[in-house]
A and B are shown apart, each in its own frame.
Chain A
């Protein structure tokens, strides 16, 4: 059989075989190739859409959290300022207290020092008085040893001292 084209039963036979071919090919390729590839693409499309939605939701949540944290940070700053202010105030008060205490302590030390100086001065005066009395009595004793006795000598010295007065020694 050699032919190019013909409208005869042979054409119908070829139509029949081609139809079977195309049917098998259509169902075979749909099952094996087209549907699986399309499913993969569809699943990926859904996955990407889901991930984009999740990303958008996450972004929204993150923005809300950021706003919340920023607000909190502002409060924290205010709180820190308040704490610093309080600390400063307390520090100032403590400073004043310490200075006052130091002043009081210094005053006490000065007073005690003055008192001790006074005591020392009194002691020195007494000692000096005693020394002068001893020296005077020695000198007088030597001067008048020959002329007057001891009783006269003592009364003379006492008299002399009384004449000089207390104020003379203290000045």
Chain B
């Protein structure tokens, strides 16, 4: 007896990462995914904004009264500096550029769901890389400030705890990248299920509330959490 297909829903729920362009490298068949393209778009937008800001700021003289655009940039920069200094103290100044970069990148990635893109941060390939950067910076600072003591600190307070300390160190980048990834993925799945499974009338107005929570609220919170944790981890190794 053949199976009957009954069209229950408009289309299949879709929250997968899709390949856009296939290429071969190192004997592997690889894809440029839609999240990678999304990340490129966001990078391009941010660089365009930076370019416009740079052009505007070049025409500014010291004695001019700052306009709306310049004031906005200055307020944002001061907020960023205060956030970095509040968590890392005097050390924060050196990391403002990096924290600012990942803050803007993650925030726009998280909010890109509102523009119809699949949030690049709902791809572990993006969040894990951010976690790895944090891990690298943390250990670089640890070695720079403590030298060999950075390695011996893994055997503190007693050598028996070395495995736990090691796992603790390695778990940091995995935990922050998985936290960001899972939060954003949950939003993507919820939105995908809603758009894929709900009848047409449920797609009016109601998704706005879901977007507000999954993209705006959760996205902004997770951006802040990721940046704060990165700063806390780095600061731990600088004291």
Contacts and interface: CB of A to CB of B under 8 A. Distances in A.
Interface in A15-38: 15, 17-19, 21-22, 24-26, 28-38
B202 interface: no
A164 interface: no
Contacts of B58: 36
B53 A3 contact: no
A17 B36 contact: yes
- Chain A interface SS verdict (over half): helix
B18 A1 contact: yes
Given A18-B36, A21-B39, A26-B97, A10 B30 contact: yes
A40 B30 CA distance: 45
Contact of B77 (A28, A32, A41): A41
A9 B30 contact: yes
- Residue of A1, A15, A18 ringed by the most chain B CB atoms within 10 A: A18
16 contacts: A1-B22, A2-B18, A3-B16, A4-B17, A10-B31, A13-B32, A14-B125, A22-B102, A22-B133, A25-B43, A25-B101, A29-B100, A29-B101, A30-B101, A32-B54, A34-B77
B133 to A, nearest CB: 7
B197 interface: no
B154 interface: no
B104 interface: yes
Given A22-B133, A28-B46, A32-B50, 10 more contacts: A1-B17, A11-B125, A11-B128, A13-B28, A13-B31, A14-B126, A25-B47, A33-B49, A36-B58, A38-B96
A44 B63 CA distance: 9
Contacts of A15: 125, 128-129, 132
Given A4-B17, A25-B46, A29-B47, A36 B53 contact: yes
Interface of B: 15-19, 22, 25-26, 28, 30-33, 35-36, 39-40, 43, 46-47, 49-51, 53-54, 57-58, 60, 62, 70, 73-74, 77-78, 81, 96-98, 100-102, 104-105, 120, 123-126, 128-130, 132-133, 181, 185
The size class of the interface chain A forms with chain B is 35 or more
A24 B102 CA distance: 12
A33 B39 CA distance: 19
A9 B28 contact: yes
A30 B80 CA distance: 13
Nearest to B122: A4
B31 A29 contact: no
